[in-house]
């Protein structure tokens, strides 16, 4: 499930998703992405309509908090219970009161840990142009919850 906005982070997440999906279903990565809308209300309406044509779908990866909120709310409103009837994973952490009173599985990334080395590298670049560029990597944690179906 995706946002219609093509921001850099979203494009990178989609590219990673497609890469992984195509390991199992060649040439199908892009076809597995549904861009639901630009705001939560539009996403809910479009996802509800999409779900009517794809009722056999039972697993959803949500690329951001808006999609996670819209997807979980629609599933609950339609009587589909995550952890019993399907699974939802959100890339961003969402408070249960926003997702229909369920705690979604998510990846937690401590954003604060990224800023210190980023600022340090920026200061070093300002002082003296670096001959090499570095990519920052930070640890993430998977937070399990009430939104994964046991198989």
Residue 68 lies in a domain: yes
Which residues, other chains included, contact 113 with Cβ-Cβ below 8 Å and sequence gap of 6+? 138, 139
**How many domains would you assign to the chain?**
1
- Length of the chain measured in residues: 151
* Whether residue 106 has pLDDT greater than 60: yes
86-104 confidence digits (pLDDT tens): 788 888 888 888 887 778 8
Structure tokens at 132: 């090499």
Residue 89 lies in a domain: yes
79-90 confidence digits (pLDDT tens): 888 778 878 888
What's the mean pLDDT in 55-68? 87
C-beta atoms surrounding 20 within 10 Å: 11
Q: Which residues are registered as beta bridge partners of 62?
A: 90
Q: How confident is the model at residue 42 (pLDDT cuts 50, 70, 90)?
A: very high
CATH number reported for the structural domain that contains residue 76 in this entry:
3.40.50.2300
DSSP state of 82: B
Could you tell me the residue range of the domain that residue 23 belongs to? 2-109
Structure tokens at 49: 């309509």
Residue 60 lies in a domain: yes
User: What does the pLDDT read at residue 50?
Assistant: 93
């Amino acid at each position: 499930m995706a946002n219609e906005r093509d921001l850099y982070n979203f494009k990178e997440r989609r590219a990673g998703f497609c890469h992984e999906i195509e390991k199992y279903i060649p040439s199908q990565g892009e076809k597995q992405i549904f861009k639901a809308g630009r705001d939560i209300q539009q996403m809910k309406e479009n996802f509800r309509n999409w779900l009517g044509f794809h009722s056999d779908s039972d697993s959803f990866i949500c690329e951001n908090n808006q999609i996670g909120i819209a997807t979980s709310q629609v599933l609950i409103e339609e009587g589909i219970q995550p952890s019993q009837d399907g699974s939802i994973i959100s890339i961003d952490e969402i408070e249960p009161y926003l997702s229909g009173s369920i705690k979604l599985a998510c990846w937690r990334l401590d954003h604060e840990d990224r800023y210190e080395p980023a600022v340090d590298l920026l200061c070093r670049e300002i002082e003296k142009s670096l001959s090499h560029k570095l990519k920052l990597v930070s640890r993430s944690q998977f937070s399990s919850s009430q939104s994964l179906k046991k198989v």
